[in-house]
Amino acid sequence: MPSSQQIKLILTIVCALAVLMVVSQGSGAGLVNTIYQESAKKSVKTIKISMPPSSTAEKYFKTHSMEHMVGAIVQGTVNVKPADPVRFLRESLGNVSTPKIIIAGPPAGGKGTQCEMLVKTFNFVHISTGDLLRSEVRSKSSLGTTAQSYMTKGQLVPDELVIEMLLQRMSKDDVREHGWLLDGFPRTVNQARAMIKEGIVSDGIVLLNVPDDVVSQRITGRRTDPETGAVYHLTFKPPPPEVKSRLLQRSDDTVDAIKERLVAYHKNLNPLLTSFTCPIHRIEAGNLPPDVVFPMITEAIQSARWTKLAMQMGISGVL
């Protein structure tokens, strides 16, 4: 829980950011400009703030979508008009939960690659149901043993079993501290409803839109390392020479199988999305390089996080 002095520092920084927005955006600073311009100027006069080079500050500002954060904090405080704003902010910020984000998209839509980049940037815990299943089976846990009994028969693992694995994983300390990034689940309305019923609720969904022909090209060249679970592509992400000989192609990575999977994906997508009430951010990823798509995703995720902050502060319509 932040101390009073820390909260006062946060307020000062917010005011400084408001001034930064006023200077860089003029009248486009919006509510921060109109509400806090004068108080921000007065606050900045009382202290010295050492700002990093403008390019570094701008990159950080954009990466973390801090305009949304400033808007939520300032507007929330002004709307509520608490007698003790420091106490109000201390309680509001102290109760903000860790991020919970779902990454959705077609098979081979780039979800795994983007999750790796997000983990490096934000330290989220990446949870892939495929990886989770393999881990439980390898550990020979009770859940893994039960899952293995279905898999050896060529049957799908029941949704209830996957949900139970997710609940166990999400209860771990690392997830509680850093938040989760869920990849590859849910795929159907029933799975989404089962998640919500068990209290697994997302702050936002990032949907990567990728054309079917691009998906087909990516999947046919995809190979998996059976020992590590690492996924490579013979053209776009070539494997190291020392592992190439042991790579496997999934039985459902054929052209015919891909067509069936895409039909199922498109059939389930809209009903699946309407099962959730959280914000949905659609990213037109197409065949763009991962480093071009990544900033779009970070902006969407941070927008979802600050929207949640605004809701937790008891306000709406801010972002």
Whether 48 is catalytic is no
Give residue 94's pLDDT.
Answer: 65
Whether 261 is catalytic is yes
**Tokens describing residue 318:** 């801010």
Could you identify the residue written with the tokens 């679970």?
229
Q: How far apart are CA 19 and CA 26, in angstroms?
A: 10
User: Apex CA 39: angle with CA 34 and CA 42, to 5°?
Assistant: 135
Closest CA to 200 of 192, 189, 188: 192
DSSP state of 27: G
Give residue 66's pLDDT.
Answer: 66
Amino acid at 129: T
Tell me the torsion sign for CA atoms 104, 108, 114, 119.
positive
Q: Which of 90, 100, 111, 223 is catalytic?
A: 111
Q: How far apart are CA 40 and CA 16, in angstroms?
A: 6
Could you tell me what percentage of the chain is helix, strand and coil, using 3-state DSSP and rounding each to the nearest 5? Answer: 60, 10, 30
Find the length of the chain: 319
Distance of CA 215 to the CA centre of its chain: 22
Q: Which of 218, 222, 223, 308 is catalytic?
A: 222
Q: How far apart are CA 76 and CA 107, in angstroms?
A: 40
CB count in 10 Å sphere of residue 308: 21
Give residue 90's pLDDT.
Answer: 72
Give residue 257's pLDDT.
Answer: 86
Element (H, E) at 182: strand 180-183
DSSP structure string for 234-299: TTTBPPPHHHHTT-B--TT-SHHHHHHHHHHHHHHHHHHHTT--S-EEEEE-TT--HHHHHHHHHH
8 A C-beta contact, residue 232 and residue 238: yes
Element (H, E) at 207: strand 204-209
Q: Which of 62, 237, 261, 282 is catalytic?
A: 261
Q: How far apart are CA 73 and CA 204, in angstroms?
A: 19
Q: Which of 8, 187, 193, 237 is catalytic?
A: 187
Q: How far apart are CA 288 and CA 301, in angstroms?
A: 19
Give residue 303's pLDDT.
Answer: 77
pLDDT in tens for each of the 319 residues of the chain? 445 554 444 554 555 444 444 334 433 334 333 333 433 444 433 333 344 555 676 666 666 666 666 666 776 677 778 888 777 777 766 666 788 999 999 988 999 889 999 999 889 999 999 889 989 999 999 999 999 998 888 788 999 999 999 999 999 999 999 999 999 899 999 999 999 999 998 989 999 999 999 999 888 888 999 988 888 888 888 999 999 999 998 877 888 888 888 999 999 999 999 999 888 999 999 989 999 999 999 888 887 776 676 666 665 443 4
Q: Which of 42, 250, 259, 267 is catalytic?
A: 250
Whether 222 is catalytic is yes
Q: How far apart are CA 88 and CA 79, in angstroms?
A: 12
45 conformational bin, left if phi > 0, alpha if psi -120 to 50, beta if neither: alpha
